[in-house]
Structure 1
Amino acid sequence: MNVRVKFLGGAKSVTGSKYLLEIDDKKILIDCGLFQGLKSLRLRNWDTLPVDASTIDAIILTHAHIDHSGYLPRVVKEGFQGPVHCTTATAGLLDIMLLDAAKLQEEEAQFAQKKGYSKHKNPQPLFNTKDAEIALSLLKGHHYQQKEEICPGVMVTFHNAGHILGSSIVELEIHGSTQTKRIIFSGDLGRYDRPILHDPSAINHADILFVESTYGDRRNENEGVEERFAEIINQALDRDGCLLIPAFAIGRTQLLLHYIKTFMEEGKIPKVPVYVDSPMAISATRLYQDFPTYHKLTSKELSNPSIFDYNQIKYYRSQEASTSLNNLEKKAIIISASGMCTGGRILHHLYHRLQRKNDTILFVGYQAEGTRGRRLLDGEPTSRIFGIDVSVKCNIAHLNGLSAHADRDELLKWLSNFSEPPKMTFIIHGEENSSTAFSQSIKKELDWPNIVIPEYLESFELFQGV
């Protein structure tokens, strides 16, 4: 049995994760994400997939975030018809996320045509609702620790990654004629000792390892992060403005609500209205009740009222309700998606609030290179939204201690569980500087050999004659 890998994304970038395993004549795609951020990356979404989609036998998803799953409707459009394996909670999230992503694609194409800011005469969506519905019909949900055969001689097991609800570390066992080999994909690893999700599962052996490196070059704020969060909220409200928080609908929004409710109950911040303006986040929050084994929250904490229900928290689904928030001038918190300001309702809020000197935009998660969020953090004086350059006069704040990604030390902690070094370790899902720094840390701290930072579209022979 011969095994090869080709990197179709997530190589020297934090988006577009797609890793093609060729096991003799079988093709398995691990993750199927959209590219985001830099235009040069986003344009890859429109390219024909570098492999004939109809020849892919199966897809395995580590989790539901769009940079790992959002290309599914497109690959279906290109001819993929096989099963898509993931955890049951990931399947539940994708029911929400893929339809939302399709709707956004359709709306953005229509809006671009209406406003005339697209260079195309008749702009089209990358995929549509029908493509998303077909993709959803292909999902096969699995529980953690449940071993399943997905191709002859190929077994998959999902382990908890602690990143978002249902996120997984993917373990593949490949049974050859003479040997069994184990390949591990870390997916996106979460943090330790978080209030909602369990710690990432310890893995002790891999012949080949693929490990993410989003924060491989830095340490997150750990000490005093709650106090710092409360301080930023108070500073924003003291300016007699509103606090706008771009947040991923899955995971980050729920963590923010947990902290904000706690702060208000303990008197650390004033009891002001908190508006969750993200239909996806509202739906995702309810899934915590449907999948109780995937998190730490007890049935009591999720009963009526749940920890996500509070007098100050207002959930807004309709477009009309969202638009009404434009009239808020002070003493309110608005949480909206997307977390990197690449699309969704957050764009409308930014359009109205970037110019208000009393308002504050707080970034609480990773901002990929080339995204609007990253450019704002880097001090961009104007931001182009809906074809208009909007002046940035508001206050910009950043708190990375609430990130759902493991930092350098936590990544090394997870790697230290391995009883011996893998024969080859690929550093993936990180910008080049981060991947390079993390590679050096592994060599220095763990003394592992054969560390590889792959290039986009690069291929490697993993096993021959197994």
Structure 2
Amino acid sequence: MSKPVATLTFLGAARTVTGSKFLLDLNERRLMVDAGMFQGAREWRRRNWDDFPVDPATITDLLITHAHMDHSGYIPALVKHGFHGRIHCTPQTRELTAIVLRDSANLQVNEARDAARGGYSKHNPPLPLYDEADVERSLPLFHDVAFDRDLDLGGGVHARFTRAGHILGSASIRVWLADDPQISVLFSGDLGRDQHPVLRRREEPEGATSVLIESTYGNREHPTGDEEDHEALAGLIRRTIARGGSVLIPAFAVDRTEILIKVLGEMQHAGRIPPVPIFINSPMGSAALDVYQGTGAHAELRADIDISALLNLPTLRDVRTKEESVALNRPAQPCIIISASGMATGGRVVHHLRHMLPDPRNAVVFTGYQALGTRGRSLVEGAKQIKMYGRYVPVKAEVLLDTAFSVHADAPELLEWLAALSPAPQVVYCVHGEPKSAEHLADTISEELGLMAVVPRYGEVVRL
């Protein structure tokens, strides 16, 4: 009797940088690695609402590389439509994902309500993709997985999580069949840089026959020298404070907030920027800070990092209430505001943008990758007006993109990770990147490493 065909289906992060979802059919078992939400361009966001290509109830196990929305944000929608299997991830990913999903549900419910009241939605009535109840039904399905331990998923299918060094708890995941050495797949997840500001360096997993590698920065190298010292940011802060304005930093609540506090604190200590108040206006960011201070996080942190000491910065202020947040739209004195989301797609930061963008005294600083179709991408590309809550807002504030904050591996670091895999892969799939970035990385892999590398299409199915 012939063995069942083993297949891999690309249900997201294929020629786009969001929505990571990879379906594995192995030995009559159906697994999925990552369940990310599509963000950015409308054509991709609409896919969040499509009928899922397979019945979610037929998926036995879901493996999550890390907590960011584009890798975990679709989980409650899967559960809403019938998924009831096990969700495997590291303990820190579980903690952070719970924070991310609860915030996402709350944000969606509020946005749907505001759109209904304001009459600026094309849908009648506007609805959230999922709500808080869907999130709470999802959380009991999570199961903790330790790094570097074999996980038996049944049916001869095994998995192993290796530290990826991107954010706390992030992992690369290797899946294989015990009785067929030719059937093995390695998912890079998002890979951290060689030198992460807070976390220890990523570790090298065992190689696999097929490898999926992220390509967010597949055609770029991170800055070095003065740019890595964030002098452009320091200069902008000095200029803005001197003219009586405030600096708004849209930031990813998980990981980026910790790094920003570290850098801004060092700048203030060195006298590079004035000691103005620094407000953390993100409930999700504040909750994530608590996870980074937890005992379970210590093994992943760099030896020279004391998270508690970072948070004792004298000028740091934690904004918890809605009233405090509203007051920051017109701050009483020049200040720095760190608020989610990092691409300005939703959350408290959008309210701040609406009030701060029209004032030329102010400045807005983006510190990470800005996907196509997001407000952040429009602003860094020089938009003169931005639409928010059904109205256009003029952009008079100074805008800066500081790419030195990125904790994604760049092109040379991706190649280094791939070249170190043993055994070497038979085929490499470049995922989680915009087309030009993914295609450039695939070409470079072929030319420099001599490996077959392709950029898969959305919905494409390949045999393993």
Q: What's the TM-score bracket when you normalise by the shorter of the two chains? A: over 0.9
Q: CA deviation at 1:356?
A: 0.7
Contact preservation (8 Å) 1:197, 1:294: no
CA distance in 1, matches of 2:333, 2:385: 23
Structure 2 CA distance, aligned partners of 1:234 and 1:152?
A: 60
Paired residue for 2:247? 243
Q: What CA distance in whole angstroms lies between the structure 2 residues aligned with 1:410 and 1:308?
A: 30
Q: List per-residue Cα deviations over 1:120-152 (Å, max 9, x = no partner).
A: 222111101110011111001111112111222
- SS state at 2:399 partner: strand
Match of 1:196 in 2: 198
Q: 2:286 and 2:176 mapped to 1: Cα distance? A: 37
8 Å Cα contact 1:95-1:136 kept in structure 2: yes
Shift of 1:108: 0.6
Structure 1 residue 366, shift from structure 2 partner:
0.1
Partner of 2:426: 423
Q: What's the offset of the Cα at 1:297?
A: 4.7
The 3 A distance-change label for structure 1 pair 250 and 115 is: same
* Bigger mean CA offset, 119-128 vs 336-345: 119-128
Amino acid at match of 2:222: N
**Unaligned residue ranges in structure 1 (runs of 5+):** none
Question: 1:296 is aligned with what amino acid?
Answer: L
Match of 2:306 in 1: 301
1:204, 1:417 within 8 Å by CA — same for their partners in 2?
no
Contact 1:241 1:329 in 2 (8 A): no
Question: How far, CA to CA, are the matches of 1:159 and 1:352 in structure 2?
Answer: 43
| Corresponding residue to 1:173 among 172, 176, 185 | 176
In 2, Cα distance between equivalents of 1:40 and 1:146 = 39
The equivalent position to 2:318 in structure 1, one of 290, 315, 319, is 315
- Pick from 333, 339, 347: which aligns with 2:350? 347
Is residue 2:404 matched to residue 1:371?
no
Structure 2 residue 438 is matched with structure 1 residue 440: no
In the alignment, is residue 394 of structure 1 matched against residue 403 of structure 2? Answer: no
Q: 2:213 aligns with which of 201, 211, 218?
A: 211
Change (3 A) 1:294 1:250: farther
Residue of structure 1 equivalent to 2:411:
408
In the alignment, the residues of structure 2 paired with residue 257 and residue 33 of structure 1 have an alpha-carbon distance, to the nearest angstrom, of 27
| Aligned CA distance change for structure 1 residues 343 and 227 (closer, same or farther; 3 Å) | closer
Is 2:196–2:407's contact at 8 Å kept on the other side of the alignment? no
AA aligned to 1:250 is: V
Give the superposition deviation at 1:289. 2.2
1:328 and 1:166 mapped to 2: Cα distance? 35
How do residues 41-190 of structure 1 correspond to structure 2 at under 5 angstroms?
A: 41-176=44-179, 178-179=180-181, 181-190=183-192
Aligned letter for 1:235? R
- Bigger shift: residues 53-62 or 1-10: 1-10
Structure 2: which amino acid aligns with 1:77?
A: K
Letter in 2 for 1:241: G
Deviations 1:71-106 (A, max 9, x none): 000000110000000111000111211111111111
Q: In the comparison of the two structures, how many residue pairs are matched?
A: 458
User: Residues 297 and 431 (structure 1 numbering): CA distance in 2 closer, same or farther, change over 3 Å?
Assistant: same
- Per-residue CA deviation, residues 134-193 of structure 1 (Å, 9 max, x unaligned), is 1111001111112111222111111111111101001112112x5464311000011112
Taking structure 2 as the reference length, the TM-score comes to: 0.96
Residue 237 of structure 1 contacts residue 330 of structure 1 at CA under 8 Å; is this kept in 2? Answer: no
Distance 1:238 1:200, change over 3 A: same
Q: Shift in Å at residue 300 of structure 1? A: 8.4
Match of 2:13 in 1: 10
After alignment, is 7-16 or 438-447 more displaced?
Answer: 438-447
Change (3 A) 1:300 1:427: closer
Structure 1 residues 300 and 445, CA gap change in structure 2 (3 angstroms): closer
SS state of the match for residue 326, structure 1?
coil
Q: Of residues 336, 357, 365 in structure 1, which corresponds to 2:360?
A: 357
1:247/1:338 contact within 8 Å kept: yes
1:275 is the counterpart of 2:279? yes
In 2: Cα distance, 1:302 partner to 1:432 partner: 37
Give yes or no for contact 2:257–2:338 (8 Å, CA) kept in 1. Answer: yes
* Structure 2 contact 42–373 (Cα < 8 Å) conserved: yes
| Deviation of 1:55 (Å) | 0.7
Secondary structure of 2:135's counterpart equals helix
Root mean square deviation, CA, Å: 1.5
2:224 matches 1:258:
no
Tell me how far apart the structure 2 counterparts of residues 180 and 355 of structure 1 sit (CA, whole Å): 59
The question of whether the paired residues in 1 share the 8 Å contact of 2:198 and 2:305 is answered with no
For 2:246, give the aligned amino acid: C
Partners of 1:212 and 1:112 in 2: CA distance:
35
Q: Which amino acid aligns with 1:368?
A: A
8 Å contact kept, 2:342–2:368? yes
**Residues 360-388 of structure 1 deviation map (CA, whole Å, 9 limit, x = unaligned):** 11111000011111011111111000001
TM-score by length of 1: 0.95
Contact in 1 for aligned 2:280/2:319 (Cα 8 Å): yes
In structure 2, C-alpha distance between the alignment counterparts of 1:293 and 1:157, rounded to whole Å: 21
- Distance in structure 2 (CA, Å) of the matches to 1:435 and 1:399: 22
Q: Quote the offset at 1:195 in angstroms.
A: 2.5
What's the secondary structure of 1:123's corresponding residue? coil
Change (3 A) 1:459 1:160: same
- Could you tell me how far 1:401 is from its partner in structure 2? 0.9
| Unpaired runs of at least 5, structure 2 | none
Summarize the Cα distance change of 1:420–1:445 in structure 2 as closer, same or farther, 3 Å threshold. Answer: farther
Secondary structure, counterpart of 1:209 in structure 2: strand
